[in-house]
Amino acid sequence: MKKDNIITYALDYESYFDRECSIRTLGPLGYFSHPDFDAYLVSVVGDNGYEFVGHPKDFDWSLLEGNIVLAHNASFDETLYLYGVTQNWWPEVHPAEWHCTADMAAACGLPRALKGAIESAFSDIDVSKETRNNMMNKRWENMTEEFKKEVLDYALLDSSHCLLLWKTYAHKWPQFERGISAANRRIMQRGLPVDAGALKVARETLNDTLFKTEQAIPWAGDKPLLSRKAYDAECIKLGLEPPASLAKTDVDAQKWIEKHGRTHLWIQAVSDWRRINSLKKKLESFENGLMADGRYYGNIMYWGGHTGRFSGGGGNLNLQNLPRADMFGINMRNLITAPKGKKLVVVDLSQIEVRTLCWLAGDKATMAEIAASDDIYEAFAIQFGLWSKDKGVLKKEAPEVRRLTKNITLGCGYGCGAPKFATMCDMPLAEAEDAVALYRKSLFKVPKYWRKLDSDMKKSYAANAKHTIELPSGRSLDYGLIKMSRHDGRVNHVAMMNKSGRRVPMKLWGGTLAENASQALARDVFSYMMLKIEEAGIKIIFHVHDEVVIECDEEKAEGVLAKVVEIMSTPPEWISDIPLSAEGDIVTNYTK
């Protein structure tokens, strides 16, 4: 039963950390279970004036029963609390709600970190993290009395700042968003089942590949393997003109590597070495965070970008960006494996951003074609005049037309020009020009939507007014005051957006704004689906972009798949006319 007078408490743990015993290295439960881990301090500040700072065993945990608990980064503090209960470090209590003020700050357009959030929200407050930095490698029992007092004051101030943020911004954070934040934490607290044996084999395979790769580099052992000076010297010795760049994003560099790497294996070896090491670090993160129960406990960040989309939670393993294909004989996704007697049900919203763009543009004709077709790209091919229903099933009869249609649909929706489209699709410029023109003529309401967004943004600039884009979910994209910027002789409209804790300029025009709005709306639809799936008693263990992964009993998998597809194919009431489609599979190893 809900209490009449609910108290809100802000809670913050302080714990031992060093380079090895670190949440960044080990993941949350790997960190908490490390033999050197010690949660030696908790600070709690209530909106009723209550304050406590000291060892967790000395805190009256019953105070939290039935009340609201806040933490700035609840994915750490709440997860630590729950883990500590299982270890008998403190008693089990049942708060009415847990909320993350870091998530709230991000959703309200503030930096996620407590220091950045407080200093952005309150111009008269400066926050120092010097004490926190000095706590590294220091155990409580080894601290001087003077430093202990400094740590106590620091911890209490963190909780006070957390509560201050909540009091100031909670009314701007709707219940829907609070629910998404909490559900995301629940999901990641369930952990991912990992095949430990396959993980060990993968590590051994990759170590062998790394050794062979290093042996193929001529200067190995004499100079750093990535030495550009050594690289250029070897090229000159062989009569090759060294490339201007070795960047993976440099098209000319990659063509040079592909051409000469076939003849001179060391060229490809240098290119591979960095990728192998990156993959090795990902495998190590899996291994470091793997618990005795055979599960990996990582993190997915709520509101990881200004559109609200989720992102990786830091560290070497970004769960939102696991490699899709085999790399050097290793398939990272396959390591996520259902335990005996279980299955993984993987379901995704089909081409959701294509659908949200059409909805935002008011393109009812295209949405009607999408709703009537089993294949969204056949619907677009019909709209482009490249296909007609009397010719049969596009996927079967003309797969090359379907590929072209898919490229045009996915590549041209946000104002991509012909030169860029030609590079993206590796096609002649003349063909790219025809493709871009076809998209803009056939789906004329989409370019019209770009122009409207561009015009509205410029009106906001002229009026010196904050610019927002309203979404049907009830929230808005907030760009603040638009500014003008000159670069390379061109004048651009820009908005200052939070990125990695800093305010950075983002160039704006209609196509960019359309992409932002489409992505944000897709995120809201997907998040709504996640909440509905959880409300149905189906437990998600992982999600990425527009896809959910569920672990369930093998005999229940078919029913779970059918229910989740039904939920994800039914639009929210606030956008009831968008044509949605979901599809999924039952698998033992995660593959998508």
Q: Does the pLDDT at position 314 exceed 70? A: no
- What are the pLDDT digits (tens) for 212-266? 999 999 999 999 999 999 999 999 999 999 999 988 888 888 889 999 998 999 9
Of 496, 517, 538, the residue at which a domain comes to its end is 517
Q: Is 491 within the bounds of a domain?
A: yes
Whole-number pLDDT of residue 341:
97
On whether both 528 and 509 belong to a single domain, the answer is no
Could you give the C-alpha distances from 548 to 120, 345, 586, in angstroms and in order?
A: 35, 8, 12
Statement to judge: residues 170 and 235 lie in one domain: no
The CATH number of residue 168's host domain is 3.30.420.10
Same domain? 424 vs 487:
yes
Please tell me whether residues 358 and 476 are part of one structural domain: yes
Q: Mean pLDDT, to the nearest integer, of 9-20?
A: 97
Residue 160, Cα to own-chain centre: how many angstroms? Answer: 29
Between 149 and 25, where is the model more confident?
149
Cα torsion at 314, 316, 319, 320 (round to 10°)?
70
Which pLDDT does position 288 carry in this prediction?
86
Residue 149 sits in the same domain as residue 19: yes
pLDDT (mean) for 376-389: 94
CA proximity to 337, closest of 592, 591, 589:
589
Domain boundary pick from 492, 517, 542: 517
Are 27 and 171 members of one domain?
yes
Given a contact cutoff of 8 angstroms between Cβ atoms, the answer to whether 109 and 172 are in contact is no
The answer as to whether 592 is a domain residue is: no
The reported pTM is 0.93
Taking the C-alpha atoms of residue 275 and residue 565, their distance in angstroms, rounded to an integer, is 36
Average pLDDT, the chain: 94
Mean pLDDT of 446-464: 97
| CB proximity list for 174: less than 8 A, separation 6 or greater | 474, 475
Q: Are residues 529 and 381 in the same domain?
A: no
Answer whether residue 294 is part of any domain. Answer: no
Same domain, 65 and 168: yes
Residue 489 within a domain: yes
In a domain, 2, yes or no: no
- Rounded to whole angstroms, the Cα distance separating 38 from 76 reads 14
The pLDDT of residue 460 is above 60: yes
What integer pLDDT is reported at residue 487 of this predicted model?
A: 77
pLDDT in tens, 67-122: 999 999 999 999 999 999 999 999 999 999 999 999 999 999 999 999 999 999 99
Lookup: tokens for 194: 């990992």
- Nearest by Cα to 155 from 132, 122, 124, 130: 132
Residues 131 and 33 in one domain: yes
Residue of higher predicted confidence among 1 and 508: 508
Residue 72: count other Cβ atoms within 10 Å of its Cβ: 27
Rounded CA gap, 159 and 140, in Å? Answer: 19
Q: Is residue 487 part of a domain?
A: yes
Percent of the chain with pLDDT over 90: 87
| 381 part of a folded domain | yes
- Can you give the CATH number for the domain in which 539 is found? 3.30.70.370
Q: Is the pLDDT of residue 315 over 70?
A: no
Domains held by the chain: number? 4
Q: What are phi and psi of 272, to 5 degrees?
A: -75, -30
Instruction: Say if residue 168 is in the same domain as residue 219.
Output: no
Q: Are residues 149 and 271 in the same domain?
A: no
Per-residue pLDDT, 498: 82
- Collapsed DSSP state (helix, strand, coil) of residue 195: coil
Between the alpha carbon of residue 422 and those of residues 32, 254, 403, 429, 437, the distances in Å are 50, 17, 14, 5, 13
Q: Which domain holds residue 214?
A: 196-289+299-333
Q: Of 161, 188, 215, which residue is a domain's last? A: 188
Whether the pLDDT of residue 316 is over 90: the answer is no
Strand 51-54: give its sheet, edge to edge.
51-54, 39-46, 8-15, 68-71, 97-100
Let me know whether 183 and 222 are in one domain.
Answer: no
For residue 224, is it within any domain?
yes
What is the model's pLDDT at position 2?
62
